[in-house]
Each structure stands twice: as structure tokens, then as C-alpha cells.
């Protein structure tokens, strides 16, 4: 199981610097932000005024006024109370509506930026990634943005504002004892919440890691469904997945128990504070220093503060997790690709399609060279093949040509232009490839072929299908070209997938064509037909062929024979046979293998 290039960091450091990274994504709708904040303040002013309406209603109920005056005052107060409550809700809804657009656009912008960045990272990153864990990091990060913006701006901020207003009102109207109870309760509650949340962070970390691991194992197993079936390892995969689920279950239990301790402590602090406030108010009413309306007001204020404060504990925990998840998301953006365009990179201009490797060496690791001082030239319009035993470095040359990696030493030129000095987009635009392992998108046949040139016309697609000898196959399908190929193209055979890849490249029709074992999954009859088609469409194009079957490259203008990362021979088919070197030995071995079935009969 491969690991991510960077570890999943679930440490609970409250990194507020994440907000500075988010701010540029929020400035697209500055007016909306300020209007939303204005509605927030309006809602809180209405909220603080509500207990005063209750106080006056209750106090006026106790007055011995004339019926008409009594009804007028009471009705006025009740209407005012209803208006304030409606204003509180209305301002909140307007605020949410205004800021919802800001949050959604920020999530869209960041999600798109991460998606683009992941596609810009080098091949080494993607070979080392864990797709399941990576997708969870992205998902949790974008969800964290929504939560952070919604609750930090519209819950923590307003709650602190309301606490300040209430403490001031209590201090001014009822003395320092009431204000002190509120202040001590709030400080105790926040302190306990912070300490307890810090304590239980390790359990949250364990839960997220267990969730990542189980999800990664599930995705990895399902992506390799065929391999699981080949080796009859369904039970083995289920056991591995169950180990991950067992770890998740245990982590979930610890997380739940620690949450119980946190919620219990918070509830105790709130209960003591509310009981103290009501006891103080009751004593003052008994002494005649406060009215029944004042008692109701104090009770309403206390409930009004502690209800959101109780929610604040949950919000704090979630914001802490959201900040960590967003930080992990931004860490993805901080990943630097090893292969980057130069600041002054030019567009590649291909006139003839000449390719030159000059003293090229490459190694994935310092202690093991894959390519050693390779030099050769592919003349415009020629077909050059690279052959050799497995591990000789043939496919690595293709990766270097596409600039998935940069050479350790040496340079590669196309029409005299150093490919390290041109943009990667323009380089790959001029090269088409039929890879050995064709992976298709879980879409229709037509869409997978059209992927070679998304703006291609229907006629061009049909022509590509015809040249790739896919017409008969597609006609036999119930849904024709609209047939779904399944995850990674698993509904198609290896040969069918390879012909789809060939059709893609035919549709692209670039000046340089690369065939990496392009017919390895085809039967002899199909291979001959495809080779004939490739020969036809390759006329006037520079062709670079990586081959294992030597019979497929007999017509090559030049055949380069590689052994342990070096060129040991080169020439055309006939001249290489006459040299009686490695090529001749490989040819003889393959000829004997192809004749074995006939001799056995």
C-alpha cells in the first residue's frame, strides 16, 4: 500500500493563518459580505431587545390601569415583541442568503484550483498517492470551508457580540453580581471547552486516520476488481477491509466517550450558571428591588446567552476540525510539481517532427540509473522503434519525451527546440500516444474516443472508429456508441480498449505519434489490420514505437536495441539480424515461441 507524499496532519493546532488564505476567495462579493454583516448586527440588536419587551409586557400585566389603556399598552408591546422576533428571523435569513453565495463561490473556486493543481503535479506524486485518502482530504477541506465561514462568521462572532451587550446591560441595570455570574460562567465554559477539546483531539485524529485507511482500502480494492477476482482474494480483501473498519469502530467509540465527557462538563457549567442567575433574581424580587418583569428579563437573557453558548462548544470543535481539514487542503496546493514550465517558456512549434535525444541519462532513485547516456535521432516522417528486454528502459524514454520527468542529464529536442524550454501543454499537444495499458473513463464509447479531441466533429469520430477497426464491434453492441464502458473500461476486453486508444490518437492526429506496445492485447488478425491502419495514418508523421513483439517493427526505418538502459545496437531489421547480436537472439527466441503451437500439433 503506497502512502501519500505528505502525512495527513490532524494535529489540533488552531491555525488561524488559514483564514488569510481563504480571504482572497471571499473578496469576489465584498458588497454581499458587508450587507450580510449588517444583517447580522441587526438580528442581534433585535435579539437583545426581545427580553425588554417581555419585561414590559409582564410589568404592565401587573398594573391596575383602565381597561382601554391596559389593552392598548399590552397590544402595542405584544405587537412590538412579534415585530422584533420577526426582524430577528428575517435578518438572519437575509444574512444566510447573502453569504451563502459567497461561501458557495469560494468552495467552487478552491475546489477547481485544487483539481487543476492535482493535474499539474508530477507523475511521481500520483504514483505515490492514495486515491481514497486524497479524495477524502479534498472533500473534507471543501466542506470545512462551508462550515468555517457559516459558523465562525455567523455564530461565534454574533454570540460574543451578544454576550458583551448582555453583560453591559446587566451591569448597568442590575449590578455587578449578575454580570459577574455571566462572565465567570462564560469564561469557565470556554476554558473547559478548549481544554477538553484539546484533550480529545487525539481521538478525532485516530478516527480520521481510520476513516482514511478504510476508505483507501475499499477504493483500492474496487479499482483493482479484476485482479482480486483473478487471484480469488475476495475474502482476503474483505478481511483487510474489516481490519480497517474495526480500527474505525474502536476510534469511533473513543471519540464518542470523550464527546460525552465534554458535553457533560459543558452542561454542568450551564446548569450552575442558570441556577445562580435565577436564584439571585428571585432574591432581589423578594426584597422588592426587582419586578417580576425584571425576573423574566434576567431569565430570558440567561437562556438567550447559554443556548448559543452551548452550541458554541459544538461549533468550536467543528471549526477546529475544519481549520485542520482546510489546512490539509491548502497543503495540497503547496505541493510543488517537480516538472514545471520555465518562466519564459515558449510554445512548441512543430514543422517536421524531428526528435533528438542527446546524452540523456535518467534515474528514479540516485542509486539506480534507468537510462545511461542515450543519444539518437528520429528523422522527420520516419518510424523508429525501441526494443529490448523488460526493464531495459524503453517506456521510460516515452515518459521523458512527454516530460512526465526531466532527464537527470542531457537534453531532448523536437525540431531543434529543447523540450524543457517549452510549455508542457504545447509539447503534449503535438504528441499522440497509444499506451500499453489503456484506462478508459466510466463513460460511453463515443465519449472515450472523443476524448482525443473534444471538439471533433461527428464525421471525424466515425472516421477514427473506422481506421481503428472498431466499426463492426460497435455495430454489434445493443447501444452502439452510447454503450457504457464501465469503471476503467472493465466492460471491454484488452484488445477492445486498445483499439479505443488507437481511435483516440487517430482522432487527435498529431505530427508525432508514440506507440507503447500498441498492439500487445490484440490477436494476430486484429494486429495485422491495426498495423496496416497505423502505417496508413502514420504517413507523413514521425513515429516512435516501443515494442516487445519484434514482428510489429520489421518495417521501422531504424530499430534501437536497448539493454540495461543503454543502446547496444541499432539499424533496420535486416542489418540487425546480420549483426547476430541481442536483436538476433530476441528475434530467434520469439520465432521459436510463435512456432511452438504448430510443432505441438
Q: Domain of 577: which CATH number?
A: 3.40.50.300
For 189-233, what is each residue's pLDDT tens digit?
Answer: 888 887 887 787 777 778 888 888 888 888 888 878 878 887 788
Tell me whether residue 508 is in a domain: no
Task: Clarify whether residues 323 and 394 are in a common domain.
Answer: no
* Closest by Cα among 583, 585, 586, 588 to 572: 583
pLDDT at residue 84, as a whole number? 73
Task: Clarify whether residues 70 and 206 are in a common domain.
Answer: yes
Strands 355-362 and 371-378: antiparallel
- Domain containing residue 46: CATH number: 1.20.1560.10
What is the distance between the alpha carbons of residues 407 and 420, in angstroms, rounded to a whole number?
9
Task: Clarify whether residues 202 and 84 are in a common domain.
Answer: yes
Does pLDDT of 599 surpass 60? no
Query: Please, what is the angle between helix 292-334 and helix 157-174, to 10°?
Result: 150
Scanning the structure block, which residue is given the C-alpha cell 479524495? 135
Does pLDDT of 293 surpass 70? yes
Task: Clarify whether residues 51 and 169 are in a common domain.
Answer: yes
Please name the residues in contact with 327: beta carbons below 8 A apart, sequence gap of 6 or more.
9, 15, 18
Task: Clarify whether residues 53 and 93 are in a common domain.
Answer: yes
Tell me whether residue 115 is in a domain: yes
Up-side HSE of residue 368: CA atoms within 13 Å toward CB? 7
DSSP 366-382: TTB-SEEEEEEEE-TT-
Structural domain containing residue 419: 353-430+546-595
Does pLDDT of 108 surpass 70? yes
Task: Clarify whether residues 259 and 200 are in a common domain.
Answer: yes
Task: Clarify whether residues 254 and 373 are in a common domain.
Answer: no
What is the distance between the alpha carbons of residues 155 and 182, in angstroms, rounded to a whole number?
18
Tell me whether residue 521 is in a domain: no
Tell me whether residue 234 is in a domain: yes
For 528-569, what is each residue's pLDDT tens digit?
Answer: 766 776 777 677 788 898 888 888 888 889 999 998 888 898
pLDDT at residue 4, as a whole number? 41
8 Å CB contact between 161 and 44 = yes
User: Which of residues 334, 365, 399 is at a domain's end?
Assistant: 334
Please name the residues in contact with 224: beta carbons below 8 A apart, sequence gap of 6 or more.
none
Does pLDDT of 502 surpass 90? no
Task: Clarify whether residues 226 and 319 are in a common domain.
Answer: yes
Please state, in angstroms and as integers, the Cα–Cα distance from residue 29 to each residue in 99, 535, 575, following that order. 9, 56, 71
8 Å CB contact between 387 and 547 = yes
Number of domains in the chain: 2
What is the distance between the alpha carbons of residues 499 and 116, in angstroms, rounded to a whole number?
29
**Higher model confidence: residue 182 or residue 491?**
182
**Phi and psi torsions of 364, nearest 5°:** -75, -35
Task: Clarify whether residues 304 and 405 are in a common domain.
Answer: no
User: Which of residues 305, 334, 363 is at a domain's end?
Assistant: 334
Amino acid at each position: 500500500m503506497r502512502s501519500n507524499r505528505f502525512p495527513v496532519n490532524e494535529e489540533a493546532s488552531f491555525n488561524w493563518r488559514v483564514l488569510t488564505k481563504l480571504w482572497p476567495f471571499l473578496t469576489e462579493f465584498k458588497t454581499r459580505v458587508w450587507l450580510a454583516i449588517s444583517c447580522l448586527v441587526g438580528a442581534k440588536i433585535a435579539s437583545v431587545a426581545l427580553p425588554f419587551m417581555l419585561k414590559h409586557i409582564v410589568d404592565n400585566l401587573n398594573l391596575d390601569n383602565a381597561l382601554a389603556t391596559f389593552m392598548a399598552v399590552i397590544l402595542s408591546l405584544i405587537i412590538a415583541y412579534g415585530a422584533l422576533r420577526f426582524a430577528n428571523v428575517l435578518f438572519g435569513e437575509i444574512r444566510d442568503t447573502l453569504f451563502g453565495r459567497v461561501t458557495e463561490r469560494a468552495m467552487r473556486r478552491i475546489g477547481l484550483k485544487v483539481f487543476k493543481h492535482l493535474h499539474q503535479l508530477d507523475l511521481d506524486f500520483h504514483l505515490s498517492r492514495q486515491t481514497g485518502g486524497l479524495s477524502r482530504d479534498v472533500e473534507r477541506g471543501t466542506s470545512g470551508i462551508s462550515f468555517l465561514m457559516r459558523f465562525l462568521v455567523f455564530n461565534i462572532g454574533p454570540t460574543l457580540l451578544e454576550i458583551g451587550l448582555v453583560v453591559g446591560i446587566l451591569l448597568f441595570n442590575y449590578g455587578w453580581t449578575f454580570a459577574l455570574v455571566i462572565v465567570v460562567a462564560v469564561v469557565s465554559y470556554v476554558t473547559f471547552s478548549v481544554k477538553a477539546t484539546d484533550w480529545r483531539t487525539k481521538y478525532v485524529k485516530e478516527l480520521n486516520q481510520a476513516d482514511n485507511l478504510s476508505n483507501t482500502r475499499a477504493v483500492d480494492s474496487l479499482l483493482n476488481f479484476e485482479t482480486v477476482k483473478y487471484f480469488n482474494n475476495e475474502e482476503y480483501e474483505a478481511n483487510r477491509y474489516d481490519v480497517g473498519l474495526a480500527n474505525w469502530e474502536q476510534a469511533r467509540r473513543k471519540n464518542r466517550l470523550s464527546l460525552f465527557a465534554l458535553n457533560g462538563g459543558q452542561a454542568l457549567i450551564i446548569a450552575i450558571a442558570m441556577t445562580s442567575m435565577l436564584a439571585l433574581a428571585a432574591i432581589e424580587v423578594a426584597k422588592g428591588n426587582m419586578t417580576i418583569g425584571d425576573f423574566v428579563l434576567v431569565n430570558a437573557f440567561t437562556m438567550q446567552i447559554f443556548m448559543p453558548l452551548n452550541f458554541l462548544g459544538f461549533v468550536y470543535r467543528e471549526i477546529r476540525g475544519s481549520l485542520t481539514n482546510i489546512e490539509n487542503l491548502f497543503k495540497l496546493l503547496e505541493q510543488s510539481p517537480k516538472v514545471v514550465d520555465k518562466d519564459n517558456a515558449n510554445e512548441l512549434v512543430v514543422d517536421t517532427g524531428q526528435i533528438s535525444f542527446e546524452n540523456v541519462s535518467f534515474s528514479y532513485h540516485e542509486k539506480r540509473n534507468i537510462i545511461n547516456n542515450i543519444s539518437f535521432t528520429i528523422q522527420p516522417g520516419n518510424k523508429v522503434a525501441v526494443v529490448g528486454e523488460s526493464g531495459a528502459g524503453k517506456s521510460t524514454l516515452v515518459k521523458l519525451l512527454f516530460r512526465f520527468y526531466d532527464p537527470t542529464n542531457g537534453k531532448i529536442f523536437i525540431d531543434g527546440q529543447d523540450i524543457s524550454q517549452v510549455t508542457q501543454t504545447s509539447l503534449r499537444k503535438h504528441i499522440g500516444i497509444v499506451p500499453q495499458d489503456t484506462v478508459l473513463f466510466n463513460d460511453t464509447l463515443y465519449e472515450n474516443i472523443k476524448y482525443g479531441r473534444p471538439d471533433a466533429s461527428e464525421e471525424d469520430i466515425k472516421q477514427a472508429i473506422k481506421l481503428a477497426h472498431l466499426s463492426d464491434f460497435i455495430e454489434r453492441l445493443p447501444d452502439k456508441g452510447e454503450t457504457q464502458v464501465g469503471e476503467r473500461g472493465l466492460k471491454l476486453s484488452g484488445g477492445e480498449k486498445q483499439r479505443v486508444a488507437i481511435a483516440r490518437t487517430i482522432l487527435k492526429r498529431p505530427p508525432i505519434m508514440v506507440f507503447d506496445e500498441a498492439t500487445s492485447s490484440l490477436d494476430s488478425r486484429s494486429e495485422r489490420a491495426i498495423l496496416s491502419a497505423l502505417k496508413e495514418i502514420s504517413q507523413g508523421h514521425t513515429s516512435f514505437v516501443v515494442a516487445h513483439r519484434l514482428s510489429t517493427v520489421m518495417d521501422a526505418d531504424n530499430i534501437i536495441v536497448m539493454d540495461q538502459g543503454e543502446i547496444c545496437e541499432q539499424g533496420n531489421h535486416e542489418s540487425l539480424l546480420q549483426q547476430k547480436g541481442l536483436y538476433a537472439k530476441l528475434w530467434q527466441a520469439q520465432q521459436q515461441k510463435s512456432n511452438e503451437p504448430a510443432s505441438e500439433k
